[in-house]
Amino acid sequence: MIQSLPTDWAGWLALLHNPLVLLLTGFQLWMFIHAVRQRDWLWAMFIFIGWGLTAFIYFLNVYTAKTTGFELPGTQSRQRIRELKSQIHHLDNAYHHFRLGDVYFQRGKYAEAEKSYRAALEREPGDLDTRAHLGQCLLRLKRPAEAKPLLEAAARENYKHDFGFTLMAYAEALTALNETDAAFDIWQHVVANHSYARAKVQFAELCVKKAQPDLARTQLQEVLNDDRFAPAYQRRRDRVWTARARQLLRSL
* For the chain, percent of residues with pLDDT exceeding 90: 58
pLDDT digits (tens, 9 = 90+) for 35-71: 776 666 777 777 777 666 777 776 666 555 544 444 4
d(CA 176, CA 153): 18
Give the CA count within 13 Å in the CB-facing half-sphere of 143.
13
pLDDT band at 108 (very low <50, low <70, confident <90, very high): confident
CA distances from residue 190 to 106, 170, 176, 202 in whole angstroms, order as listed? 23, 10, 17, 11
Return the domain boundaries, the chain: 2-66, 71-161
98: burial class by Cβ within 10 Å (0-12, 13-18, 19+)? Answer: buried
Report the pLDDT value the prediction gives residue 209, as an integer from 0 to 100: 95
* C-alpha–C-alpha distance, residues 170 and 186, integer Å: 8
Residues 210-238: tens digit of each pLDDT: 999 999 999 999 999 999 988 888 888 89
- Looking at every residue in the chain, the average pLDDT score rounds to 84
**Mean pLDDT across the stretch 102-116?**
93
Better-predicted residue by pLDDT, 29 or 239: 239
Per the model's pLDDT, the better-predicted residue between 121 and 51 turns out to be 121
User: Rounded to whole angstroms, how far apart are CA atoms 174 and 201?
Assistant: 15
pLDDT number for residue 51: 63
pLDDT tens, position by position, 161-206:
999 999 999 999 999 999 999 999 999 999 999 999 999 999 999 9
Give the per-residue pLDDT at 29.
79
Contact present, 49 and 35 (Cβ < 8 Å): no
The CATH classification number of 71-161 equals: 1.25.40.10
For the entire predicted model, the pTM comes to 0.70
The CA distance from 141 to 118, in Å, is: 14
54-67 b/e with 16+ CB inside 10 Å = b? bbeebbeebbeebe
Cα R_g (the chain), whole angstroms = 22
